[in-house]
Amino acid sequence: MIQNYLLPRKPLILHDLIETESQLDALLSQPTDELVEFMRNLDGDIIILGIAGKMGVSLGQLAAAAIEKAAVPKCIYGVARFSDAGTRERLESAGVRTIQCDLLDRVEIAKLPRVRNVLFMAGRKFGTAGDEPLTWAVNTLAPANIADHYRDANIVAFSTGCVYPLARADSMPDERVAPAPVGEYAQSCLGRERVFQYASNVWGTPVCLYRLNYAIDLRYGVLHDIATRIWHDQPVDNSSPAFNIIWQGDANQQALRCLSHCTTPANILNVTGPETLFTEDVARQLGELLKKPVRFSSTPGETSYLSDSSQAVKLFGRPSVTAEQLIRWQAHWIKSGGRSLGKPTHFEVSDGAY
């Protein structure tokens, strides 16, 4: 069952199925007319910090494609440690100027170009258990360094819906709900937010806290996790009863357009799809598409990490890809042997231990 609690769906004009990685990457980096017009009117260059992560590469490629289509003289910088040379080459070939930098090193940060628009994506989640100090450093000290260096810029700071309390599907938190993070990862994410809020309050830095719940890329994500277990005849963990997702292409489009929604004090925006998906129902639907039996390993709880994205829908409209389409895409991707990044989301975790 997919609960759609906002607006009726618009007709979707996209690929029926995604067959190859090149097709997937092209779709992820395809700018909408609204984004192209936004780039045409945006003042200043853009820097994406932490660009080498799962979502950052497609965000950089999308930004570069939108600028090229807008035909404006604007530069996109991409900053990361770049342990994988191939990632850097992909970004450079797309038109992103890459810079190698450790965001915990203030000397290196001082050399970064001072631009008008910043997207901060750096963060650490998995591996927190047993190495909590490093997670806190990455999630709070690096933001402090960047907030200081870019105190005169617009900053979109990526965050997570995990800062909210666990919620029932009929009472999902909107931006007015007070944070109540569970576990040190989520607590450190709230720490990151507080650092950027401090910068906004003290230095007048315009900030948007971008609270994202579960982007879908087909090579990873909640649907990938569920479909993979079904495909390999493994039981699905159904302890988390529900979740929200959004096509990564839509999440990236919204992230860039959030540069015009940075405010002082800091703005907060939930970013996810407008549908509420129920784990067992989605698993059964994937099982039918994969022609595989579905088993479950747990007893469903009453609460999950969920977010109300009504405000984002008002600002940007509904995502271009529905949850139903994503489920069909995901089943075909798994069934046809599509590549996996091998990075489970652990969406079923509710005790904050990652």
Element (DSSP H or E) covering residue 222: helix 222-231
Is the distance from CB of 38 to CB of 307 less than 8 angstroms? no
Measured CA to CA, the distance from residue 123 to residue 171 in angstroms comes to 28
Per-residue pLDDT at 284 exceeds 90: yes
Q: What is the mean pLDDT of the chain?
A: 93
Residue 346 placed within a domain = no
The pLDDT assigned to 13 comes to 40
What is the SS3 assignment for 320?
coil
Side chain identity, residue 133: P
pLDDT digits (tens, 9 = 90+) for 164-197: 999 999 999 999 999 999 999 999 999 999 999 9
Helices (H) and strands (E) in the chain, counts: 13, 12
Q: Is residue 348 part of a domain?
A: no
In a domain, 103, yes or no: yes
Can you read off the two tokens belonging to residue 114? Answer: 């001072």
Residue 137 domain-assigned? Answer: yes
Angstrom distance (rounded) from CA 219 to CA 19: 12
Peptide bond preceding 265 in cis form (omega within 30 of 0): yes
Q: Does the residue 272 lie in any domain? A: yes
How many domains would you assign to the chain?
1
Q: What is the CATH number of the domain that holds 103?
A: 3.40.50.720
- Has residue 340 been placed in a domain? no
Q: Is the pLDDT of residue 155 over 90?
A: yes
Q: What pLDDT shows up at residue 129?
A: 76
What's the token pair of residue 199? 């910068």
Report yes or no on 154 lying in a domain. yes
| C-alpha closest to that of 259 among 86, 26, 76, 82 | 76
**Per-residue pLDDT averaged across 44-72, rounded?**
97
Residue 354, pLDDT score: 66
Assigned token pair, 329:
């895409």
The Cα–Cα gap between 320 and 25 comes to 16
pLDDT of residue 11: 37
Q: What is the DSSP string of 179-241?
A: P---HHHHHHHHHHHHHHHHHHHHH---EEEEEE--EE-SSSSHHHHHHHHHHTT--B--SS-
Give the pLDDT score at 131.
Answer: 85
Residue 201 in any domain: the answer is yes
Return the H-helix or E-strand segment holding 211.
Answer: strand 207-212
Identify the domain containing residue 105 by its residue range. Answer: 21-217+246-276+305-319
Nearest to 300 by CA among 279, 327, 275, 282: 279
Which amino acid, 147?
Answer: A
End-to-end CA distance of the chain: 28
Each residue of 10-41: pLDDT tens digit? 333 456 899 999 999 999 999 999 999 999 99
DSSP string, 107-118: HHHTTS---SEE
